[in-house]
Amino acid sequence: MRILHSPNSSAHQPERYFRRGAIVPHPEQAVRYRRLRDVVLADGHDLMHAGEFGLGPIKAVHATDYVEFLATAWARREAVPGIDDEIGSSHFARPHMSRRPEGILGQIGYYMADTSTPIQAGTWDAIYGSAQAAVSAAELLASGEIGAAYALCRPPGHHAYANSAGGFCFLNNTAIAARHLVKRSGGRIAIIDIDVHHGNGTQGIFYETADVLTLSVHADPANYFPFYTGYADESGVGAGLDHNHNFPLAEGADDQTWHKTLADMLALVRSYQPVAVVVALGFDASVDDPIGAFGVTTDGFSKAASMIAGLGLPTVLVQEGGYLCDALPLNLSVFLKSFESAHQV
């Protein structure tokens, strides 16, 4: 398996955030990248540094003003009294608060959905490098050089909208890879999101388009993040009608339930007849995940990999969630091995 990554992925190092009334350790730590990198190296995969594709593929998905905010926010920190090692906000815009303020303090709340996405000295380098890994993987597929690649993206991305961050995510690596594949191939792309959280940012980015089919299996958002999207009746609008499919499941869903739902998703992919697939590869559906809500086992991830590989389509695997526990690197290891064994293009 060709693995694309950026060493800058560990430059973003959040240690804490405000959650449910308390300051708690941040689950999305830099060591996630290193543990995932180390296991793919140990398994003998072909590890490559991401190429340099610039801002073009990023701005094909994200609003220019939002990208510029992310790239310059740390340099503007002196305008915010009391800043130490990171920039954050406790003032967040809601839909009826539509004015973009000029000052950095107001813009932080304008472009961010919650307290989980602080900006630090190395944040831009990490999220830019992560996006380049996703583009690099997509480019290898588009060039016909390989039939599958894994983008070791960290921080994750599927909660990032075109113009806002949230849920540990800044740039939507999955969406960036999919849009790049559409541009390079001229064909339709399917996104399969198996993270335990709904890929709300990805849904929002493609909700009005027909050239990307978005499917997500996740814990029921009625009482689980991201709460406000991910319901089964959200099917797209305009040209995107019937091109978005959500499969919310009750918390505690096991391998059998998860696989049955995945089979339904794959049937939709086959009907859509895309030229390639992007998998939002979250491992926080694991029974061992510290912030997960499902009961998927390591064997369950292995079978899911074989099922997705059975589509027989060029595939980019983009790392999304999956948090620090002994099972995290093991789940990646078995997923890649099973995918490689079953994948034929």
**pLDDT (tens digit, 9 = 90+) per residue, 45-84?**
999 999 999 999 999 999 999 999 999 999 998 887 777 8
Question: Cα torsion for 301, 303, 307, 313, to the nearest 10°?
Answer: 60
What tokens does 308 get?
């997705």
For the chain, strand residue ranges (E) read 2-5, 16-19, 22-25, 46-49, 148-151, 189-193, 212-219, 244-249, 276-281, 315-319
The reply to whether 62 belongs to the active site is no
Question: What pLDDT is attached to residue 86?
Answer: 87
Q: Is 115 helix (H, G, I), strand (E, B) or coil?
A: coil
- Given the residues 12, 45, 62, 159, the one annotated as active site: 159
β-pairing verdict for 16-19 and 22-25: antiparallel
In a domain, 69, yes or no: no
Number of structural domains, the chain?
A: 1
In a domain, 84, yes or no: no
pLDDT(110) > 80: yes
Structural domain range at position 47? 2-63+120-342
What tokens does 145 get?
């050089």
Instruction: Give the tens place of pLDDT for each residue, 153-165.
Output: 999 999 999 999 9
CATH number of the domain enclosing 15: 3.40.800.20
Q: Which residue has the higher pLDDT, 67 or 92?
A: 67
In a domain, 98, yes or no: no
Q: Is 192 helix (H, G, I), strand (E, B) or coil?
A: strand
In a domain, 125, yes or no: yes
For 57-118, strand residue ranges (E) read none
In a domain, 238, yes or no: yes
In a domain, 332, yes or no: yes
